[in-house]
Amino acid sequence: MTDLNEIGKRAKEAAALMAKAGSEDKKKALLSAAHALRERMGEILSENRKDADAARDRISPALLDRLTLDEKKIEGMAVGLEQIVELPDPVDQLMERFTRPNGLIIEKRRVPLGVIGIIYESRPNVTADAFGLCFQSGNAVILRGGSDAIRSNLKIGEILRDAVKDHGLPADAVQVIADTSRESAQMLMRLDNYVDLLIPRGGAGLIRSVVENSTVPVIETGVGNCHIYVDAGADLDMAVDIIVNAKTQRMGVCNAAESLVIHKAAAPEALPRIFRALHEKGVEVRGDSYVTSLIEEAKAATEEDYGREYLGPIISVKTVDSLDEAISHINRFTTHHSEAIITKSEENADRFLREIDAACVYVNASTRFTDGFEFGFGAEIGISTQKFHARGPMGLEALTSYKYEIRGNGQVRG
Amino acid sequence: MTDLNEIGKRAKEAAALMAKAGSEDKKKALLSAAHALRERMGEILSENRKDADAARDRISPALLDRLTLDEKKIEGMAVGLEQIVELPDPVDQLMERFTRPNGLIIEKRRVPLGVIGIIYESRPNVTADAFGLCFQSGNAVILRGGSDAIRSNLKIGEILRDAVKDHGLPADAVQVIADTSRESAQMLMRLDNYVDLLIPRGGAGLIRSVVENSTVPVIETGVGNCHIYVDAGADLDMAVDIIVNAKTQRMGVCNAAESLVIHKAAAPEALPRIFRALHEKGVEVRGDSYVTSLIEEAKAATEEDYGREYLGPIISVKTVDSLDEAISHINRFTTHHSEAIITKSEENADRFLREIDAACVYVNASTRFTDGFEFGFGAEIGISTQKFHARGPMGLEALTSYKYEIRGNGQVRG
C-alpha cells in the first residue's frame, strides 16, 4: 500500500512554501494550468476513455455520465481555473487591528489552512476545481478520488503539477493518491499529523463514513432535504413558480426541494394547482392523509419519506395547522442545507428566518440559489451543512484560518 | 449507565429556546446566577469539602489545590459571570449584507452553535465559567467534569439551573453529567446527533483522547510548547526581561515559555546573562553542545526536551546559525500556541510573523499575553491551537456560527 505518511509529509512541506507564495506567482501558475488542460486535452481524453471502458459494465448510466469527460467539460475545467484567478487572494488579508492599553498592536490576518484532503467519487472535474480553490487560497491539496476515475485523475494531476512546478512553486501543492483502495481513504482520515481539513464530496454514505472515522477535522457538505413552506395567504402564483423551480429545474442536486409543507388554510386552493404543475413535470406526490384526500393521484407518505433526499422526481407533502408546526416539522427533518417560506406576512417571514436551523433560509425565493456563484463568491468547494468553521456555500475564505500578529516594544505581563 | 441520548435530546430542545432568547433575559439570568453562587456559597463549600476529603489520599497536592474551593474562588466565579454580562451579545449580529443582481438580499447573521460539550478535569470553577460563556452566546452546554469534583460540579450546576429557570429560560441550557465513568465521556464524544462542538479542557492526554475518539467536532486547546527566539543584534535587556517573564511569571500555564532559541552571534554575550536571571528564579537550563560549552551549569538537552511542555522550572535552549534555522526549528516543535522573536530587524520580524505557524506570534513581547482578557475579549473558553473554526483565545464569537437569511420577491433560478 502507498505510504500516505510520505504524501502527507510532502504536502506539509509544500504548504509551508505555498503560505509564503506571492499572489502574482499563484495567478500565473493557475493560468498556465488552465492553458495546459486545453493543450493536453488529448492526453486527458485518452486516459478518461480507458476509465470509462473499464467502468462501463459495472456502474450506472448516471455515474458513467459523471465519469465521462468531453472537450466541453475539460474547457469548463480550464475556465473554472481562470475564474478563480479573478478572485481576490485571501492570504494575508487584514481582518482586524487593535491596540491594547499597554501598547501592544494586535493584527488578525488570514492564513491558509495548510493541507486540505478531498475525498470524492466519480467526477474527475473535481480534481481541477478543488485544486484551483485550494491553490489560490495558499493551501496544498491531497486528492483521493474514486477508482473509476483514477486514470483521468492521475493525468489531470500530472498536468497541474507540471504547471505549478514551471512557476517555481512546489509540485506537491497538488498530489493525487494513486491507491484507491478502501484502506487509502481510511489512512487519509487518520493523517491528522499532516492534514488540516478533510472535505468529503459525494453521497450521504461517504460523508457519514468520513465523519465517523476521521481524526482530521471534517466539513460535511451537500446533503439537502430542502423544504418549501407555503404559508396561509401566500401568493399562489409565486408559490407554484418557486416550487416547480426548486423541485424540477435540476433534480439531482443538493439544493433542489424534496419536501413541501403547506398550511391547511392554503391547501384546498393551492395544492391542486401545485400538483398539476408538478405532475406535468413528471413528479410524483407523496402526502399525509389530508393531502391524499385533496389529491386523488397522491400516494400516502410514510414517516421515512419526510426524511428522504430523493434527488429525483418525487416530492413529499406535509400539511400543518400553524407556522409553529411547520417550523417544528422542518427542524425535525432538515439536513441544515436550504429551507424556504412563501408568505406575505413579514412577521412569519422573520420568525421562519430566525427559527429554522439551516445554512440558508429563504423568504419568497427558490432554494436553488444556494450556490457559490449565485451568492457572488465566484466559486465554491462545497455547501457546508454543519455550523462549525464554515456554513453554506464555501468560497476561498472557508479554506483559510487566521493568526494573531502582535507587535510590542518589550512588554511583559505584570 | 446514564442515558446520554436523553441528556443530548434535552440539550438540543433547550438550545432551540436559547437561540430565540432575548439579550435582556439572558443578562438577568446570568446576574441572578452570580447572586445565587454567593448566596448559596455554604452549600457549594460543603459539597466541595466532601470531594476534597474523598480525593485527598489519591491525588497530588497540585490537583487537590485545583479541586479545593474557598470563598475567594467562588466570589471569582460570580464576578466572572458578571463580567460576561458586560460583553455584547453576539447572537443575531449582522456580519454582512449584500444584494445580488437578481434582487435577492442576502444577510449573514451570527447564530449560536447549538449544544456545546465540555470535558474537563479537576477544577470546579470551569462549571460556572463555561456555562457563562455558552449561555451568553445562546448555546446549551453539557458539562462532563472529572470524578474528583463531581459533588461540587453537581451543586454548582443545580444553582445555575435554578437561576436560569427562574427567568423563564430552559434549565436544560446547563446540564452536569453525574456519571463520571470513562464510558460517559466516550458516549458524549459520539453524540453527534445532539452535540455541535466538544471542547476538552485539560492535559495533552485528555485532548488527544477526545480528538481520536470523537465524532463531534472538537477544538484542541491549551497545549503550549512556546518558544522565544533571540535574534542577532537583539536588545539584551529586553530579551532578559521577556524571557524571565514568559518563563517564570507563572510556570504552570499554557502560554509560558518552554524553549529558548538563540542566534549564535548573540549567544556569547546574551546566554550568560539569561542563564543568571533564570537561575535566580530556580530554572534549570538544558541546551545543545554550544550552550553547554558556554554555560557550565547547563545540562545537555535531548531531542525529546525540545518537544516538551515542562509547565515547571526547566527551559530548553537551542542555538542556531540563522533566522531560517530558528523558524524551521520552531515550526518543527511548535504546538501552534504562542511564539516570540526578540529583534531589532523589521525584516526579520516580518518574516517571523509570516512564517511561524502558530495562533499568536509576537515581536518583542512576552508570550504570556495570549489570553482572552489580555486581548480585550473579556473572557475566554480556551486557547485554540488548531486552525479550524477558531484560533487563539476563544471569546463569545468562537461559540457562534452564522446563517444566511435571503429575502426575495419570487426569484427562481433560470
Closest-CA distance, A108 to chain B, in angstroms, reads 9
Going by pLDDT thresholds of 50, 70 and 90, the confidence category of residue A1 is low
Residue B6 has pLDDT above 90, yes or no: yes
* Type of residue numbered B374: E
How many angstroms separate the CA atoms of B216 and B212, rounded?
A: 11
Tell me the mean pLDDT in the region B20-43: 97
For the stretch A299-345, pLDDT in tens is: 999 999 999 999 999 999 999 999 999 999 999 999 999 999 999 99
The residue in chain A having the minimum alpha-carbon distance to the alpha carbon of residue B234 is A410
Note the CATH number of domain A4-219+394-406. 3.40.605.10
Residue A173 contacts residue A126 (beta carbons within 8 Å): no
- Ranges for all domains in chain B classified under CATH 3.40.309.10: 226-369
- Ranges for all domains in chain A classified under CATH 3.40.605.10: 4-219+394-406
Residue A215 has pLDDT above 90, yes or no: no
Three-class SS of residue B309? coil
Residue B47 contacts residue B80 (beta carbons within 8 Å): no
The answer to whether B375 faces chain A, any CB pair under 8 Å, is: yes
Closest-CA distance, B56 to chain A, in angstroms, reads 33
The residue in chain A having the minimum alpha-carbon distance to the alpha carbon of residue B341 is A407
Judging contacts by C-beta atoms under 8 Å, the chain A residues touching residue B406 are 360-363, 365, 369
Going by pLDDT thresholds of 50, 70 and 90, the confidence category of residue A398 is very high
Buried b (16+ CB within 10 A) or exposed e, A71-89: eeebeebbebbeebbebeb
* Type of residue numbered A52: A
Backbone angles phi, psi at B286, to 5 degrees: -120, 120
Protein fold of B226-369: Aldehyde Dehydrogenase; Chain A, domain 2 (3.40.309)
Alpha carbon separation from A340 to A287, A360, B142, B246 (Å, rounded): 19, 8, 31, 53
Q: What is the mean pLDDT of chain B?
A: 95
Residue A2 has pLDDT above 80, yes or no: no
Task: Report H helices in A86-191.
Answer: 125-136, 150-166, 182-189
Q: Do B405 and A211 touch (CB under 8 A)?
A: no
For β-strands B360-365 and B299-300, DSSP reports them as unpaired
Task: Tell me what ipTM this predicted complex has.
Answer: 0.92
Residue B1, pLDDT score: 58
Residue B323 has pLDDT above 70, yes or no: yes
- Higher-pLDDT residue of B269 and B202 is B269
Alpha carbon separation from B108 to A383, B97, B113, B144, B195 (Å, rounded): 15, 6, 15, 33, 23
Percentage, residues of chain A above pLDDT 90: 88
Tell me the mean pLDDT in the region B352-380: 94
Cell output for A91: 492570504
- Ranges for all domains in chain B classified under CATH 3.40.605.10: 4-220+386-406
Note the CATH number of domain B4-220+386-406. 3.40.605.10
The residue in chain B having the minimum alpha-carbon distance to the alpha carbon of residue A353 is B405
Residues 1-30 of A with CB under 8 A from B: 16, 19-20
* Burial class of B284 by CB neighbour count within 10 A (0 to 12, 13 to 18, 19+): middle
Cell output for A142: 491531497
* Type of residue numbered B9: K
Residue A18, pLDDT score: 97
How many angstroms separate the CA atoms of A403 and A400, rounded?
A: 10
Sign of CA dihedral B176, B48, B79, B248: negative
Q: Which helix (H) or strand (E) holds B51?
A: helix B41-55
Residue A245 has pLDDT above 70, yes or no: yes
Residues 229-268 of B with CB under 8 A from A: 235, 238, 241-242, 244-246, 249
Closest-CA distance, B410 to chain A, in angstroms, reads 5
Residue B176 contacts residue B127 (beta carbons within 8 Å): yes
Tell me the mean pLDDT in the region B286-302: 96
How many angstroms separate the CA atoms of B108 and B106, rounded?
A: 7
Q: Do A404 and B98 touch (CB under 8 A)?
A: no
How many angstroms separate the CA atoms of A196 and A119, rounded?
A: 14
- Higher-pLDDT residue of A206 and B227 is B227
Going by pLDDT thresholds of 50, 70 and 90, the confidence category of residue B3 is confident
Three-class SS of residue B119? strand
Q: What is the pTM of this model?
A: 0.90
How many angstroms separate the CA atoms of B144 and B338, rounded?
A: 28
* Burial class of A228 by CB neighbour count within 10 A (0 to 12, 13 to 18, 19+): buried
Residue B203, pLDDT score: 80
